[in-house]
């Protein structure tokens, strides 16, 4: 309605811009939208205007005499068309409308522009139709509806009726009787509730145990001469949800009586008089009462119309044709080129706009809000809303029809339905359950829209639908769900989220999130290493369902482990002989299973050949302020990925987590450019370059950043990182070419391996003095500047230099007494003196140790001694015997020593001095 379109406001409550038709600037790949509209309207013809003469057609514009007003408007439209007019104007005023017996009020005609002037109101009177159209546009071409306000009957709609009963029944010939074993209803008039009674249900009645009821239908009056038909097998609702119909059309069958046998549960006259039995429609939701219904029509424009309070949708586009023979459907009957713009749709009960079949649909510059809400904008109940309660719903449901429809996902040709739909520059906000859903649309573009307000459904699309594109949209306190092969290029999110679900090949870039969360997972197609391999049959079995049928294409990878002999990592394979948890593979579709000769080495990976198709680029996530320094899962960047690619991510005052699933053995994620400011984080299963993690506030309890995990198959590689003001916890990680400023380096005493190499540490600390697992922590070729190093002998330090002293870190005053040393490893003398040596060189690789066996001594578990050139470790705590045992020299061999068991763990390291210093 002109002059009443909602405007966006800024934070200071000032209008930002109006959503009006004049400001529509959408340009599609072919031509400007305005040009399309001009061309379309030109086909209606040169304007020849008829202003409806109210008196001539018996139309009241004060809201009274709805039946006459409805007939008069339809008669005026028909006459105007026959007289050669193509522009019909309804003057200002309020017009009551009454539905006909089919559930329609105004019938649009081809070649007509029906304009409602300013302050023109169409008010539908209360009715009981589960389905209606206030303006019906069916099987017409080149038509337009503009202006005005359309008000549905939501407040006065009748969703059910109640009938009284008297004692007595009905004879088989339709005549009434006084049999006390039965009760019969008052006469039900179909004309009074033609919609509700079109497919009726009688509900069970308290105190009556009858399993069924009978109903008798008549024409005009109830007598044996007017009986049309009867049934004795009616099932009570809700146990029997299916409705019952009529034996003929309404003009031939319009009266009905229900009969119930109460002989099993006799009732008094007083009890019968108190019965008020519910009757409703099997279509009990009454969700299809639409303001404007466009079905199987082409080249239709809806412009500047306000619609509210319908029991269903504000506007519905659909397919209104059904054939028993599927070959009879034509592409033209699916509908095409529908333009809905400048409309203001709100407080309808089911949807704002439903797009259910036609192609080449453009929805732009509309405001849609508070769908499913009562007028208080708070209450959601059955009378104010019925599911789905979305702003815009794309859902043809052709899969439930016999229409031979086309589908990329199903790889089938056919008729296009819901193809090429553009949702542009709309303001969609504060709807009860969702703002936008695409169930089965293809080539869908959402561009420059604003979505506002939290909903359960958010903005989403079926992951199996192809070519869904989100461009430069704004999300306020709402969630964009990215799935399937969606692309997102540009999103501004405030107090909202971007959620990755069922990703199969999505690309998300150029997004800014403020006080929200980028989260979800991209694991489609990843299966991992099998639980077992049957070499004899070539069967690969998983512990959970793999989700593939026969013929799925898979590939083998060996980032860890080794594929079975007979399998090539360079080939694509097809699954054959599948069960829910197992399959064999063939080199051709449906071919013979590949023969393998061994089970490979655990850790290899089988997955769909195209897994890992998720690409994320240029994302900024910022929280205004972080109240504490601990991990926050409600804001930030938090994703689980299998082999995806991430680039240029910035996160501030929040948390970062990029990880694969547990026990991941697939292709590492690649991350190029990740900046985290005042954040906590977890990174794993990835190859990272250009990582920056900086903090000025107090560090988080337990550490700020975890690099890697305890998964034996997964490892994190970081090349070029800046860590400033944080505590870095190394798990299974390799970090090279990094800079640590005012940072702490920590690693738990666990058997997973970490390495720090070729890095610079300034005003930092290394706290690793509790490490006991040898070969699990190596720091090599690093440069220290005012860095405190507190390590245990198990930490391997190689060629590191303190720039303040110029000395390397492999310096000791005496020979080492613990730790593992490699052949040729050099230890420099930390206290060189004239006549001494420069240092010592390892001539036999092994464990350093200076402890020997002693009799009757208590030894702790893990204690080490040396004997005969080997080193032994106590497997358990205990006391040695009176005489030394015969220590074995076989690698890993054990021997009992009273209550202690000794295990051979390796050779004793041997060192020789080198570089004599002149006296």
Q: Are 104 and 77 in contact (CB under 8 A)?
A: no
Say whether 753 sits in a helix, a strand or coil: coil
Write the DSSP string, 675-693: EEES-EEEE-SEEEEEEEE
Is residue 74 within a helix (H) or strand (E), and if so which, with residue range? helix 66-82
Q: Are 113 and 87 in contact (CB under 8 A)?
A: yes
Write out the two tokens for 416. 């296009």
| Percent with pLDDT over 70 in the chain | 96
* Average pLDDT score over residue span 693-709: 91
Say whether pLDDT at 6 is over 70: no
> 723-758, pLDDT tens digit by residue?
999 999 999 999 999 999 999 999 999 999 999 999
Say whether pLDDT at 16 is over 50: no
Chain centre distance of CA 112: 42
Q: What is the pLDDT of residue 4?
A: 32
Closest-CA residue to 354 (of 308, 292, 413) = 292
What distance in Å separates the CA atoms of residue 645 and residue 636, rounded to the nearest whole number?
18
Q: What is the pLDDT of residue 829?
A: 87
Which residues have CB under 8 Å from 504's CB, separation 6+? 463, 483, 484, 485, 524, 525, 613
* Average pLDDT score over residue span 123-146: 97
Q: Are 130 and 283 in contact (CB under 8 A)?
A: yes
Q: Are 234 and 259 in contact (CB under 8 A)?
A: no
Q: What is the pLDDT of residue 26?
A: 37
Q: Are 764 and 790 in contact (CB under 8 A)?
A: no
State the residue for tokens 């009938």.
163
Assign 33 a pLDDT band (cuts: 50, 70, 90).
Answer: low
Q: What is the pLDDT of residue 13?
A: 38
Q: Are 633 and 656 in contact (CB under 8 A)?
A: no
State the residue for tokens 């300034």.
762
Q: What is the pLDDT of residue 25?
A: 34
* Average pLDDT score over residue span 391-404: 95
Q: How many helices and strands (H and E) does the chain possess? A: 3, 82
Say whether pLDDT at 18 is over 60: no
* Average pLDDT score over residue span 382-393: 96
Q: What is the pLDDT of residue 20?
A: 30
What distance in Å separates the CA atoms of residue 171 and residue 179, rounded to the nearest whole number?
10
Q: What is the pLDDT of residue 449?
A: 97
Range in 305-314, 745-754, 795-804, 885-894 with the lowest mean pLDDT: 795-804
Q: What is the pLDDT of residue 15?
A: 31
Closest-CA residue to 21 (of 39, 47, 2, 38) = 2
* Average pLDDT score over residue span 442-456: 95
Say whether pLDDT at 86 is over 90: yes
Say whether pLDDT at 23 is over 60: no
What distance in Å separates the CA atoms of residue 678 and residue 623, rounded to the nearest whole number?
10
Radius of gyration of the chain (CA): 39
> 550-597, pLDDT tens digit by residue?
999 999 999 999 999 999 999 999 999 999 999 999 999 999 999 999
Q: Are 486 and 445 in contact (CB under 8 A)?
A: no
The residue with greater pLDDT, 6 or 35, is: 35
Q: What is the pLDDT of residue 34?
A: 72
Write out the two tokens for 299. 């080249």
Which residues have CB under 8 Å from 363's CB, separation 6+? 340, 341, 353, 355, 392, 421, 422, 423, 424, 426
Say whether pLDDT at 9 is over 70: no
Write out the two tokens for 256. 């009905």
Whole-angstrom CA distances from 267 to 166, 176, 270, 273, 278 are: 11, 19, 8, 10, 18
| Percent with pLDDT over 90 in the chain | 84
Q: What is the pLDDT of residue 307?
A: 98
> 141-189, pLDDT tens digit by residue?
999 999 999 999 999 999 999 999 999 999 999 999 999 999 999 999 9
> 178-233, pLDDT tens digit by residue?
999 999 999 999 999 999 999 999 999 999 999 999 999 999 999 999 999 999 99
The residue with greater pLDDT, 115 or 792, is: 115
Burial label for 720, CB within 10 Å (0-12, 13-18, 19+), is middle
Say whether 368 sits in a helix, a strand or coil: strand
Compute the mean pLDDT over every residue in the chain, rounded to the nearest whole number: 92
Which residues have CB under 8 Å from 580's CB, separation 6+? 545, 546
Q: What is the pLDDT of residue 151?
A: 98
Closest-CA residue to 303 (of 6, 105, 20, 17) = 20
Q: What is the DSSP letter of 592?
A: P
Say whether pLDDT at 29 is over 50: no
What distance in Å separates the CA atoms of residue 679 and residue 727, rounded to the nearest whole number?
11
Looking at mean pLDDT, say which of 26-35, 40-49, 312-321, 633-642 comes out highest. 312-321
């Amino acid at each position: 309605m002109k002059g009443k379109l909602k405007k966006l406001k800024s934070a200071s409550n000032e209008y930002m811009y109006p959503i009006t038709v004049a400001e529509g600037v959408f340009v599609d790949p072919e031509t400007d939208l305005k040009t399309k509209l001009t061309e379309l309207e030109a086909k209606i013809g040169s304007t020849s205007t008829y202003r409806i003469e109210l008196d001539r057609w018996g139309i009241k514009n004060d809201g009274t005499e709805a039946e006459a007003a409805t007939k008069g408007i339809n008669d005026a439209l028909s006459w105007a068309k026959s007289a050669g007019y193509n522009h019909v104007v309804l003057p200002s005023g309020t017009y009551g409308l009454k539905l006909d017996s089919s559930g329609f009020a105004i019938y649009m005609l081809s070649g007509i522009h029906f304009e409602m002037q300013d302050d023109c109101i169409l008010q539908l009177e209360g009715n009981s139709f589960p389905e209606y159209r206030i303006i019906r546009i069916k099987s017409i071409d080149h038509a337009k509806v503009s202006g005005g306000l359309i008000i549905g009957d939501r407040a006065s709609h009748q969703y059910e009726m109640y009938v009284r009963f008297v004692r007595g029944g009905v004879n088989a010939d339709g005549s009434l009787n006084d049999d006390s074993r039965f009760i019969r209803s008052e006469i039900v008039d179909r004309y009074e509730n033609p919609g509700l009674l079109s497919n009726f249900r009688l509900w069970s009645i308290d105190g009556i145990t009858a399993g069924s009821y009978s109903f008798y239908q008549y024409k005009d009056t109830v007598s044996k001469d007017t009986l049309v038909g009867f049934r004795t097998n009616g099932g009570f609702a809700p146990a029997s949800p299916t409705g019952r119909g009529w034996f003929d059309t309404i003009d031939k069958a319009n009266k009905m009586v229900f009969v119930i046998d109460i002989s099993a549960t006799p009732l008094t006259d007083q009890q019968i008089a108190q019965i008020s039995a519910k009757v409703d429609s099997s279509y009990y939701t009454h969700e299809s009462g639409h303001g404007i219904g466009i079905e199987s029509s082409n080249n239709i424009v809806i412009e500047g119309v306000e619609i509210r309070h319908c029991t269903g949708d504000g506007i519905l586009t659909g397919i209104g044709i059904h054939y028993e023979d599927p070959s009879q459907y034509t592409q033209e009957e699916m509908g095409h080129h529908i333009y809905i713009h400048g409309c203001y749709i709100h407080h309808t009960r089911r949807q704002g706009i439903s797009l259910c079949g036609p192609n080449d649909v453009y929805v732009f510059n509309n405001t849609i809000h508070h769908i499913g809400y009562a007028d208080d904008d708070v209450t959601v109940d059955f009378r104010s809303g019925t599911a789905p309660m979305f702003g815009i719903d794309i859902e043809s449901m052709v899969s439930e029809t016999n229409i031979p429809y086309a589908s990329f996902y199903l790889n089938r040709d056919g008729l296009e339905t819901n193809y090429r739909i553009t949702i542009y520059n709309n303001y969609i906000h504060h709807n009860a359950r969702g703002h936008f859903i695409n169930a089965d649309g293809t080539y869908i573009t959402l561009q420059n829209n604003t979505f506002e307000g939290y909903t359960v459904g958010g903005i989403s699309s079926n992951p199996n639908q192809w070519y869904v594109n989100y461009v430069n949209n704004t999300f306020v306190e709402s969630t964009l769900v990215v799935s399937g092969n969606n692309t997102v290029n540009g999103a501004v999110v405030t107090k909202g989220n971007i959620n990755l679900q069922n990703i199969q090949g999505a690309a998300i870039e150029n997004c800014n999130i403020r006080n929200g969360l980028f989260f979800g997972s991209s694991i489609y197609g990843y299966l991992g290493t099998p639980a077992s391999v049957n070499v004899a049959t070539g069967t690969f079995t998983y512990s959970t369902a793999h989700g593939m049928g026969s013929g799925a294409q898979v590939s083998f990878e060996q980032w860890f482990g080794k594929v079975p002999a007979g399998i090539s990592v360079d080939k694509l394979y097809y699954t054959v002989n599948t069960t829910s948890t197992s399959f064999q593979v063939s080199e051709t579709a449906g071919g013979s299973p590949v023969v393998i000769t061994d089970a490979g080495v655990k850790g290899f990976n089988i997955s769909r050949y195209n897994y890992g198709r998720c690409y994320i680029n240029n994302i900024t996530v910022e929280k205004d302020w972080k109240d504490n320094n601990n991990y926050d899962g409600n804001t930030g960047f938090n994703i689980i990925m299998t082999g995806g690619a991430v680039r240029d991510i910035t996160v501030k005052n929040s948390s970062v987590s990029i990880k694969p699933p547990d026990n991941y053995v697939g292709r590492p994620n690649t991350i190029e450019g990740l900046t985290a400011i005042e954040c906590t984080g977890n990174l794993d299963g990835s190859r990272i370059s250009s990582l920056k993690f900086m903090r000025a506030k107090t560090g988080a309890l337990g550490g700020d950043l975890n690099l890697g995990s305890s998964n034996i198959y997964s490892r994190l590689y970081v090349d070029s990182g800046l860590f400033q003001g944080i505590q870095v916890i190394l798990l299974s990680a390799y970090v090279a070419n990094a800079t640590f400023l005012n940072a702490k380096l920590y690693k738990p005493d666990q058997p997973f391996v970490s390495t720090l190499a070729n890095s610079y540490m300034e005003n930092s600390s290394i706290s690793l003095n509790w490490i006991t697992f040898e070969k699990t922590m190596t720091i090599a070729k690093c440069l220290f500047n005012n860095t405190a190093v507190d390590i245990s002998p198990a930490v391997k330090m190689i060629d590191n230099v303190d720039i303040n002293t110029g000395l390397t870190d492999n310096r000791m005053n005496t020979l080492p007494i613990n730790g593992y040393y490699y052949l040729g490893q050099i230890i420099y003398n930390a206290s060189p003196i004239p006549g001494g040596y420069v240092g010592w060189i390892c001539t036999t690789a092994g464990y350093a140790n200076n402890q020997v066996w002693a009799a009757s001594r208590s030894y702790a578990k893990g204690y080490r001694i040396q004997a005969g050139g080997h080193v032994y470790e106590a497997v358990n705590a205990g006391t040695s015997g009176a005489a030394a045992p015969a220590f074995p020299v076989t690698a890993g061999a054990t021997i009992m020593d009273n209550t202690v068991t000794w295990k051979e763990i390796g050779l004793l390291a041997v060192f020789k001095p080198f570089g004599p210093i002149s006296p």
